[in-house]
Amino acid sequence: MAEFKTQTGQIYYEVFEPQAPTAQPAPTLTLLHNFMSTGRTAWGSMLPVFTQKYRVLLPDTPGHGRSIGAPANFDHLALATQLAALMQAEGASTGHLAGCSSGGMMAQLIVQHKLAAPASLTLVSTTYSINPQTTGNMAELTPEHFQFGHKWMEATARLHDPYQGAGYYAQTLLPAFRAQNAATAIHLSLDDLAQWQLPVCIIHGAQDEFFPAFIPQQMAQALPNAILHLVPEQTHALIFRQSWKVRDVMMEFLAQLPD
């Protein structure tokens, strides 16, 4: 475990080296988690497979888990800028990048604003904009619409309060999620995506309650070099529901890329 200092605090992160030594340095795979989660919670079950071939950079997003001090309003571009600086410090700027939901938004902002130059991008359960006038998506982005297990919010609080202070989840993190809008989260256009040349893998639940399937379909059509995997009968945050599916699709995608 390590910490990376930022203008607003420090990012807690872990680096996992490949399980077997390689003749050439293994490429780094940076994994960004969803809002109100942590790196280990979101991606931990996939690490044994990813580290068979890749070096993995696994941060807690600023203001999440053990990472103290988020930019004002959890502004996603500011978050992406801090995470890109961590990637630079860890030699991960030209490796592979993946993000789920909010983490996928930050990953897209890293690419759009050229904060790093990843070799590939994997986007899980995410969108290019939360402006309904841009996407045509009228679904509400609220925790109450998240179709997950019983008492998931109480369990989520336990990921943050022990490190951030009692009541942090309820008083800071959850209100910040409710207040997210196109200005603080993400507001790209399909024309923006059409300019990207890197390979992109999109993995999405066909029944996603936040970002309906037509959104990743729009993205895949706009991107010059993209593949889309719509997983039948699955809703939001696939990394929690079918982590094995996300893992296997990612590994297949990455295996097809040049070394």
CA atoms within 13 A on the CB side of 51: 16
Regions in the chain scoring below 70 on pLDDT: 140-150
> Torsion angle, CA of 218/102/248/224, rounded to 10 degrees?
30
Neighbours of 183 (CB within 10 A): 13
Which pLDDT belongs to residue 143?
60
pLDDT tens digits for 153-193? 788 899 999 999 999 999 999 999 999 999 999 999 999 99
- Counting residues of the chain whose pLDDT is more than 70, the rounded percentage is 96
Neighbours of 91 (CB within 10 A): 13
Whether the CB-CB separation of 74 and 176 falls below 8 Å is answered with yes
Which pLDDT belongs to residue 80?
98
Structure tokens given for 198: 């890197």
Which pLDDT belongs to residue 154?
84
pLDDT tens digits for 23-55? 788 999 999 999 999 999 999 999 999 999 999
Q: Considering only CA atoms, which of 21, 27, 24, 18 is closest in space to residue 47?
A: 18
Which pLDDT belongs to residue 132?
93
Q: What DSSP character marks residue 169?
A: I
CATH number attached to the domain at 2-255: 3.40.50.1820
